[in-house]
Amino acid sequence: MYFPVYRPRRLRRTEALRGMIRETELNAKDFIYPLFVVPGTSVRKEISSMPGVFQLSQEELVKEAAAAHALGVPAVILFGIPEEKDAVGSHASRADGVVQRAIEALKRDVPSLVVITDVCLCEYTDHGHCGIIERGDVANDPTLKVLAQEALSHARAGADMVAPSDMMDGRVGAIRHILDEHHFANVPIMAYSAKYASGFYGPFREAAESTPQFGDRRSYQMDPGNGIEALRETRLDIEEGADIVMVKPALSYLDIISAIHAEFDLPVAAYNVSGEYSLVKAAAQKGWIDGDRVMLEILTSIKRAGADLILTYHAKEAAALLRRGA
Ligand code: PBG
C-alpha cells in the first residue's frame, strides 16, 4: 500500500474523519488533581511559580475539589503543609493533622470523590528530606516505620487510597503490612515506583514548603539516565503489593511510561509534575505558545505513551476545556 494508491491525508481531511480514527482521547476521568492543604481558614494563596495553583485551607480545598469533581475529575491527591515541622516529621501521623482533617471533610462533603493521599515526610520534616536523618543521610529502615504510621493515619481518617512518594526501599511492603493488620486490606496503594531525582520538582517545593535544607534527593530518588532500573523498581513495588504503579515526572520520561505499560499488567499512573506545569504557564503568559493547546497535547502524549491515569495540576482546566469540546 504505497503512494499514490495509499494517501494518509485522506483520513485527515475533516475533523469528523480525524475524530473517527483518533487512537488516544483524553477524558476528565483520566485525571487525578493534586491539592495542597494548609492550616487556618479562608486561605487561598497562589504559588508564585505555579499560576492557578493554590495553598488552600480546608473549606477552600473542599470547594476546589468539588468544582473539579463536578467537571468529571474522579480523584484528588492531597499534600499537607503542617503547622509545625520537626526532625522526624511527627505531625505526619496525627489524627488531627492537616491532611487527616481534610480527608474527613472531603469524604463528608464530596462523598463520591476518590481521596488519595501522598505519603511522604518531606513536608513534615524541618530538614525537608523524605525520611529520618542518620549520619547525614536518610536512613531507610527507620523511615519505613514512620511512613507506615502515616499511611495508617490516612486510612483511619478515611483515605480511599495511599500513595507513597518517598522512594525508600521496602516501603510498599511496610505500608501493605500495617494496613492489612489494621483491617484496611481494601485500601489500595498507588506507588511512586519510578520516581526520578528531577529539576522539574522545583515549583512543588515552594508549594509544599519541602525544599531540602542540605544536599539533595539523589541518594533515594532515581538517576535520570536509568531506564532498566525503572522496570526493576516497579517489579519490586508490585511484589510488595502495589495496586497502581507510577512514573514521575511524565514528560521527560515518556519512554519509561511506555516500557512499564508494556512490561506489567497493572494500571500505570504518570505525574505531570510542577515544573512541567510551570513551563507551560510561563510560556503562555509570554504569548509564546497557546497554553490550552500545549496543555492538551502534553496530556494526550502522556496517555498515548501508556498512562491510564495522569496526576496533573491542569486537571480542572483541562476537564473544563474537554467539556466544551476542545
Ligand atoms: C514528595 C513529593 C514531591 C513531589 C510529589 N511528592 C517532591 C519531591 O520529591 O521533591 C513532586 C511533585 C511535583 O513536582 O509536582 N516527596
| 45 among known catalytic residues | no
Residue 295 resides in a domain = yes
Pocket test for ligand 1, best of 31, 78, 120, 302 (most atoms within 8 A of CB): 120
Give burial (CB, 10 Å; 0-12/13-18/19+) of 279. Answer: middle
Pocket test for ligand 1, best of 85, 165, 220 (most atoms within 8 A of CB): 165
φ and ψ of 80, to 5 deg: -115, 140
Residue 10 resides in a domain = no
> Is ligand 1 within 6 A of the CB of residue 118?
yes
Q: Please give the chain's pLDDT, 326 residues, in tens.
A: 799 999 999 999 999 999 999 999 999 999 999 999 999 999 999 999 999 999 999 999 999 999 999 999 999 999 999 999 999 999 999 999 999 999 999 999 999 999 999 999 999 999 999 999 999 999 999 999 999 999 999 999 999 999 999 999 999 999 999 999 999 999 999 999 999 999 999 999 988 989 999 999 999 999 999 999 999 999 999 999 999 999 999 999 999 999 999 999 999 999 999 999 999 999 999 999 999 999 999 999 999 999 999 999 999 999 999 999 87
User: What pLDDT does residue 271 have?
Assistant: 98
Residue 91 resides in a domain = yes
CA distance 207 to 214: 19
φ and ψ of 156, to 5 deg: -60, -35
User: What pLDDT does residue 167 have?
Assistant: 96
> Range of 271's domain?
25-323
What's the total number of domains in the chain? 1
Is the dihedral angle over the CA atoms 84, 139, 210, 255 positive or is it negative?
A: negative
The phi-psi region of residue 214 (left if phi > 0; otherwise alpha if psi is between -120 and 50; otherwise beta) is beta
Give the Å distance between the CA of 117 and the centre of ligand 1. 13
Give the Å distance between the CA of 18 and the centre of ligand 1. 37
φ and ψ of 153, to 5 deg: -65, -35
- Give the residue among 155, 197, 150 at the shortest CA–CA distance from 171: 150
User: What pLDDT does residue 10 have?
Assistant: 97
Cell of 99: 491532611
Residue 247 resides in a domain = yes
Which residue has the least CA distance to atom 6 on ligand 1?
Answer: 165
Q: What is the pTM of this model?
A: 0.97
User: What pLDDT does residue 1 have?
Assistant: 79
> Is ligand 1 within 6 A of the CB of residue 130?
yes
| 316 among known catalytic residues | no
Residue 66 resides in a domain = yes
Give the active site residue among 29, 63, 107, 195.
Answer: 195
Do residues 161 and 107 touch, judged by C-beta distance below 8 A?
no
Give the Å distance between the CA of 4 and the centre of ligand 1. 51
User: What pLDDT does residue 325 have?
Assistant: 84
What single DSSP character describes residue 138? E
- Give the residue among 118, 142, 122 at the shortest CA–CA distance from 191: 118
Which residue has the least CA distance to atom 11 on ligand 1?
Answer: 201
User: What pLDDT does residue 60 have?
Assistant: 98
Which residue has the least CA distance to atom 14 on ligand 1?
Answer: 201
Give the Å distance between the CA of 70 and the centre of ligand 1. 26
Which residue has the least CA distance to atom 7 on ligand 1?
Answer: 201
CA distance 168 to 209: 21
> Is ligand 1 within 6 A of the CB of residue 251?
no
Q: Closest ligand 1 atom to the C-alpha of 272?
A: 15
Three-state DSSP class for residue 234: helix
Give the Å distance between the CA of 293 and the centre of ligand 1. 25
Which residue has the least CA distance to atom 10 on ligand 1?
Answer: 201
> Is ligand 1 within 6 A of the CB of residue 277?
no
Residue 6 resides in a domain = no
| Residue 73, domain CATH | 3.20.20.70
232: how many CB neighbours lie within 10 A of its CB? 12
Residue 197 resides in a domain = yes
Residue 14 resides in a domain = no
Which residue has the least CA distance to atom 8 on ligand 1?
Answer: 201
> Is ligand 1 within 6 A of the CB of residue 124?
no
Give the Å distance between the CA of 221 and the centre of ligand 1. 11
Give the Å distance between the CA of 204 and the centre of ligand 1. 6
Angle of the 140-157 helix axis to the 98-109 helix axis, nearest 10: 30
